Every structure is written in C-alpha cells, then in structure tokens.
Amino acid sequence: EAGVAQSPRYKIIEKRQSVAFWCNPISGHATLYWYQQILGQGPKLLIQFQNNGVVDDSQLPKDRFSAERLKGVDSTLKIQPAKLEDSAVYLCASSFGQKYYGYTFGSGTRLTVV
C-alpha cells in the first residue's frame, strides 16, 4: 500500500511570499488532515476534510491560510502571505473514516520563512 505523498519536502521563502503544499492520501481514505508542527512542539490540526467537505478548520488562520480538496482526493494547502512564524513542518495525514480507523502520516514539508 502506497503511503501518504507530500511535496515538496523542503521550501524556503521570504516573508510575504506565497507557498503551496500538495498532499495525496492513501487510496480510499475519505478523511484528510493537515497538521502544523513548529519546532519543539507537537503537531496542531489546521484543517480536516471528509471527502471534499471541511469538518474542522477552527485552528486555521483563515486570513492567510487556505486549503482545498477538490474531488475528495488530493489536497493543497496555501499560505499567502507567509510570516516568519509560519516556519514549521506541515504534515498531511489520512484515515479511512472520520471516527478513528488509523492515521497514516506523510513525511511532511519543512517550510522556512526568512
């Protein structure tokens, strides 16, 4: 079974620039999550999708972050404009359903904002 794919692995941008991350979940997994992990902290949920609908985006900074999951498969997370404090690892995960069936995490995208 192929894992959760994320790209790019690393990204360095200047503050106020925009950036986008891509995630392809495990085939058949209806639920997709984006987590933000700041250095030295545990991951924090940014947004959860069930198919192509948003279940929870309460911790997504909507003035600068946006995410979409068209066709209920892969997803894109965008930051525009980026701030220094957005430097973090962005982890994508997927699970079979909304109630716990088992999470699979991708390797993450490490973003550095300078």
Positions in the binding site for another protein (CB under 8 A): 4, 31, 33, 35, 40-45, 48, 55-56, 91, 93, 95, 97-100, 102-103, 105-108, 110
- What residues contact residue 72 under an 8 Å CB cut-off, 6+ apart? 30, 49, 51, 52
Q: How far is CA 102 from the centre of its chain?
A: 17
Nearest distance in Å: CB 16, another protein: 27
Which CB atom, from 94 or from 113, has the smaller least distance to another protein?
A: 94
Residue 33: strand pairing partners: 48, 93
Which CB atom, from 42 or from 63, has the smaller least distance to another protein?
A: 42
